[in-house]
Amino acid sequence: MEHRQLVIIGAGAAGLTAAIYGRRAGLDTLVLERGLYGGMINSTAEVENYPGTKRVTGMALAAAFREQAESFGPEFRSCGVQRVVLRGGRDGKVVVTDAGEISADALIIASGAEFSKVGCEGEEKFLGKGVSYCAVCDGAFYDGAPVAVIGGGNAAVEEAEYLTQFASRVYIIHRREEFRADASIVERVLSNTKIEPVLGCVVDEIYGGDMVEGVRVTRLGTGEKKRILTEGVFIFVGIKPTADFLEGSPIERSKSGWIITDDKMETSIDGVFAAGDIREKFLRQVVTAAGDGAAAAMAAYEYISNLKYFEDALFGHPHAYALLTSSIVPEHISLARDAEDWKKSSHAHIVFIDAHRSRRVMDELGVSELPSLVELKDGVTVRVAGASSLDDVINFVREVAP
């Protein structure tokens, strides 16, 4: 089976940034992507809120990300990821693709998200030409112009309110006779004189010439049709993570399927990280995705460096001891410091492991509680014991190595 140090699933802003940082850190990096490099930003007509660029098309910014990532020399591979197999152990992260299987020391999932579509005529045709799925990205382009928002949940109503900063009028079109959003939000938003609700209606068509000129809606129940003149159409009928390949995996996710991470982008599985829109997070923008990618890559580098250290100092040594503690428990920190001081005067080969940051090693050594001591011979655990004091450490080691 092919093996790589770092495998990145997805080549959007998060994945490409992770590739840049991974290669700069010297990691053998493979990026897997089944579609367009740059991800959802390709569907944005213009971007004016990415730092360092006053205004650029989404496709141009995506190309710039790809070009910069390529300059550092990661390998890019066009393929579809079918599933991720997490078996535990040093070679336990396997990505199954339609072009073969790849194992990895560390894995970054940056597969992004997908906007739910209305499915009406003209939606695809005018994407980037008046149709948008992101008010924060594109709202400023409609200064003084009428816009329509399709949807009735919290996201649709809140984005409609955001758009009133720019638009002359905001129509909120929803198929039901009342909004699904929280009542407090609806009350606040509908008090804005720029907002006009269009309830009990569905959008049949988004029409125009080169750009959007309006929408045609049908009132449910009566079949009455009418046209609403609008230069922009913002669709908020749902967003979902691109994560079908994670079905059945042990990676912790929210009820809606978003991957849960800590601030280092690490998931519930050691050595598996997530970055960008696939994460459970507050804001999904290209700038936040890029930040996630950088953090994930550096956390992966730290993980792989620790992995190599353990391979050499612990599993690769003929006779070694390990003291496992947690860096967030004061008593453990004190014990580790005392043991490090004692080690200087002893002849034992003791490796100190922060099990809070290296849960994988804890599992691999067969340790279930902390603090613990482990003796290994030729990389195999032969003895495990609890440790509550420096005397426990000294007695454990001196049973074999006085």
Domain boundaries, the chain: 2-114+239-310, 131-235, 317-398
Q: Is the pLDDT of residue 259 over 50?
A: yes
- Identify the CATH assignment for 131-235 out of 3.40.190.290, 3.30.450.20, 3.30.470.10, 3.50.50.60: 3.50.50.60
Q: Kindly state the average pLDDT of the residues 317-341.
A: 94
CB of 349 within 8 A of CB of 387?
no
Q: Is the pLDDT of residue 49 over 90?
A: no
Q: Is the pLDDT of residue 226 over 90?
A: yes
Give the confidence band of 345 by pLDDT, cuts at 50, 70, 90.
confident
pLDDT of amino acid 240: 92
Q: What is the pTM of this model?
A: 0.74
Tell whether the torsion through CA atoms of 176, 180, 181 and 182 is positive or negative: positive
Taking each helix axis from N to C terminus, what angle separates 13-24 and 286-310, rounded to the nearest 10 degrees? 40
The share of the chain scoring above pLDDT 90, in percent, equals 76
| The token pair that represents 168 in the structure block | 């002359």
Give the confidence band of 16 by pLDDT, cuts at 50, 70, 90.
very high
Tell whether the torsion through CA atoms of 132, 133, 139 and 143 is positive or negative: positive
Q: Is the pLDDT of residue 96 over 80?
A: yes
Give the confidence band of 222 by pLDDT, cuts at 50, 70, 90.
very high
Q: Is the pLDDT of residue 238 over 90?
A: no
Taking each helix axis from N to C terminus, what angle separates 330-343 and 390-398, rounded to the nearest 10 degrees? 40
Lowest mean pLDDT among 40-54, 64-78, 97-111, 223-237: 40-54
Lowest mean pLDDT among 30-39, 81-90, 323-332: 81-90
Burial class for 234, CB neighbours closer than 10 Å (0-12, 13-18, 19+): buried
Q: Is the pLDDT of residue 150 over 90?
A: yes
pLDDT of amino acid 263: 95
Give 113-128 pLDDT, tens digit per residue. 988 899 999 999 999 8
pLDDT of amino acid 398: 85
pLDDT of amino acid 35: 87
Burial class for 19, CB neighbours closer than 10 Å (0-12, 13-18, 19+): buried
* Tokens 């930003």 sit on residue: 41
pLDDT of amino acid 402: 41
pLDDT of amino acid 88: 58
CA–CA distance, 32 with 81 (Å, rounded to integer): 8
| Averaged pLDDT of the chain | 92
For domain 317-398, give the fold. Glutaredoxin (3.40.30)
Q: Is the pLDDT of residue 377 over 90?
A: yes
Q: Kindly state the average pLDDT of the residues 45-55.
A: 84
pLDDT of amino acid 84: 96
Give the confidence band of 363 by pLDDT, cuts at 50, 70, 90.
confident
Give the confidence band of 165 by pLDDT, cuts at 50, 70, 90.
very high
Q: Is the pLDDT of residue 89 over 60?
A: no
Residue positions annotated with a catalytic role:
134, 137-138
| The token pair that represents 181 in the structure block | 């959003």
- Which residue type does 318 have? P
Instruction: Please list the residues that pair with 33 across neighbouring strands.
Output: 78
pLDDT of amino acid 90: 58
CB of 110 within 8 A of CB of 265?
no
Give the confidence band of 400 by pLDDT, cuts at 50, 70, 90.
low
pLDDT of amino acid 91: 63
Instruction: Please list the residues that pair with 228 across neighbouring strands.
Output: 215
Same fold, 2-114+239-310 and 317-398: no
CA–CA distance, 141 with 163 (Å, rounded to integer): 10
pLDDT of amino acid 401: 46
CATH number of 2-114+239-310: 3.50.50.60
Q: What's 143's DSSP letter?
A: T
Q: Is the pLDDT of residue 45 over 70?
A: no
Give the strands of the sheet with 232-235, arranged side by side.
131-132, 232-235, 146-150, 169-174, 195-199
